[in-house]
A and B are shown apart, each in its own frame.
Chain A
């Protein structure tokens, strides 16, 4: 299997460390000089940028959190003037607490290359036809597959939100060799194929790249068997780049983090202490080459562990374990990220409901499929029978708008709540 940029991806780890240190120095100079937030972060702990000589010193700098990004919305975290920025992206999952991420031309070029690294690393070449079935509207990272593929010379079919039967038809007629989507959608395609009596051997698929939500190994087995492909996991962080932070290789032994651009740390999510290699904790990333929106020690809230042992694919880049859990309450439903705080925000706009609510997540193939929301409702409101249906619809619409996701809504009186929750598998109470 190929390595797209061998000079970077197979660099010996001592040289890599030197490169990271060199880039760290530039990042600190750049961020300290141009972002007041980082200047304040340094000043708050009495740190001078010249104190940061190596990656070891990086630990002296306080973390950057999602709240920091929200507080500095819109342009407070930008390290370049707006006219240097060529793209502005806003993750929809941050609807209630918006953030906006800027990219310079150089930032986009790196991003494109990293996606190409992932693709090339799993065996995608100029001979492939890549069908991207991500929602280009909801998930702006989908465009990066187009550009990564173009860099490799592969053909892209941005099939986007076409329904499963259309996707299958495209696959068959166009002879697509690669499917890129959420794992949930891949399974939905497989179900549809079964209904239509289509054998995976009628298709030309070989490879699948899946991400944007956690998916267990059992789902990988189902997808590989159902589509007759090798399925690979990809990972990104909305606030940095998504996809493109890391990806699985053909050795299937973790996701290689592109350390020449992102420096990973694992911390204890409670104490913030750094953990050793191999220990599981929260992934913290520092962007080493990002110009417009540099993030220093950004808390991803994703749980994983790192391994620097050599990999069979030949890359020397560190590997992270696949991610199944978070250290915050964010949940991913079919690839759409939901922050429970958003739900609380919506409820606050209505009289007679909340503040207590509870979430029930319905799973399918071990992945989150549906979100049911139970909200505490005043008895008076429930008694006015005629209005309840309209009110119910109003709240549901508000939730759908805020979350970018259709939810089932149940309004319950407080005393009934415990009964309703009985069957809940995963739940978050507030």
Chain B
């Protein structure tokens, strides 16, 4: 579904991504894990057309999209939920959701039915419908961001740190929602620092280090990978040494 070949990208003279390649098949949850500054967000921005690439190609649904403007990429069903500035704080929750379907030019009734679907998934968004999005809690904002992305009818949803800053209970709920979205047919690329949870729900994963992919494998297998344990799953680090 998505195939990235040898992406080079950076800021000015500083190269962030070094010949990064990865692929995602339809129906998969693939996670991209790595420390802060590894280049994960840059990679998502390159895929979305928000950041220019210096080399390589991005194929989505067998079409090269690296030269396309972001709105066309969104129109094809490749939608990113960014890590920050996910929502429009002054608009109401409902207006935020409507914005998510902006490119689809739905009529009133179709729009209403889409909003119903999102409300069914996130009842809290119905309750908060008239409130300004800026007044929502962290968890609610995350749900809104996800709901708004779903309004765009994504085929491939790219989530950038969806669990960031959320309380543990909400994190578990968030990963549960991601799984059910996937079960309903949305392919997912998940960028996470919360490696354990991300790997648990992923079919496959890539590990990034300083702009390079250094490891790949099935999600649950990488959980037991010593390198991953050392780097991302702090707890097991000690146990391993003691053994």
Contact = CB atoms under 8 A, between A and B. Distances in A.
A80 B18 contact: no
Contact of A50 (B19, B21, B225): B19
A19 B23 contact: yes
A18 B5 contact: yes
A25 interface: yes
Interface string A8-27: 00000000001101110110
B213 A83 contact: no
B221 A109 contact: yes
A26 B225 contact: no
A321 to B, nearest CB: 31
A302 B185 CA distance: 48
B51 interface: no
A53 B226 contact: no
5 contacts: A18-B21, A29-B214, A81-B226, A83-B226, A109-B221
A30 interface: yes
A29 B212 CA distance: 7
A288 to B, nearest CB: 11
Q: Which applies to chain A's interface (DSSP): helix, strand, loop or mixed?
A: helix
A25 B213 contact: yes
Interface residues of A, number: 23
Contacts of A369: none
B226 A30 contact: no
Q: Which 8 A-B pairs have the closest CB atoms?
A: A84-B226, A22-B21, A29-B212, A53-B6, A29-B214, A25-B21, A53-B19, A50-B18
A66 B190 CA distance: 42
Nearest to A85: B226
Interface string A59-87: 00000000000000000000011011000
Contacts of B236: none
A30 B240 contact: no
Interface string B1-32: 00101100000000000111111000000000
B3 A18 contact: yes
A291 B5 CA distance: 22
B116 interface: no
B215 interface: yes
Interface in A346-372: none
Q: Which of B19, B221, B224, B225 has the most CB of A within 10 A?
A: B19
Which one of B18, B22, B226, B240 has the highest number of Cβ atoms from chain A below 10 Å of its Cβ?
B226
B22 A22 contact: yes
B64 to A, nearest CB: 13
Interface string B220-243: 010011110000000000001000
A392 interface: no
Given A26-B213, A84-B225, A106-B225, 4 more contacts: A25-B6, A50-B18, A54-B6, A109-B221
